[in-house]
Amino acid sequence: MWFKYLVEAWGVIVILYAKLLTDADPYVLGFVYFACLILARGITTSYFSPLTAIASYGIGHMSIDECFYNMLSHMIGTAIVIITYIPVHKHITL
């Protein structure tokens, strides 16, 4: 059960780092998001987006518990990026 939320958090981390480290290059972001979706196919339910989680709950495709855990995994992934970005950015320049 918890594996899909770990995948959600990991996808958020990868997508946010791709955005921050490439200055939001649309080609790189498109490739990274597509790669994350392909790797998480059949596992993820909100596709690394809190808006998708809320919309899925709103139309009845997701329970409130699953929506809450998806949102929590997105917040945890975002918090990890916020905490680790400056030390990582010091050592990686693209």
The radius of gyration of the chain from alpha carbons, rounded to an integer in Å, stands at: 14
> In this structure, how many other beta carbons lie within 10 angstroms of the beta carbon of residue 17?
18
Mean pLDDT of 69-84: 96
Could you tell me the residue ranges of all domains in the chain? 2-91
Instruction: Please calculate the CA angle 8-12-16 and round it to the nearest 5 degrees.
Output: 175
2-60 pLDDT tens trace: 899 999 999 999 999 999 989 999 999 999 999 999 999 999 888 999 999 999 999 99
Residue 63 is predicted with a pLDDT of 95
Structure pTM?
A: 0.90
* 94 or 81, which is more confident: 81
Q: Give the C-alpha separation, 43 to 22, whole Å.
A: 27
Residue 93 is predicted with a pLDDT of 66
Q: Are 8 and 49 in contact (CB under 8 A)?
A: no
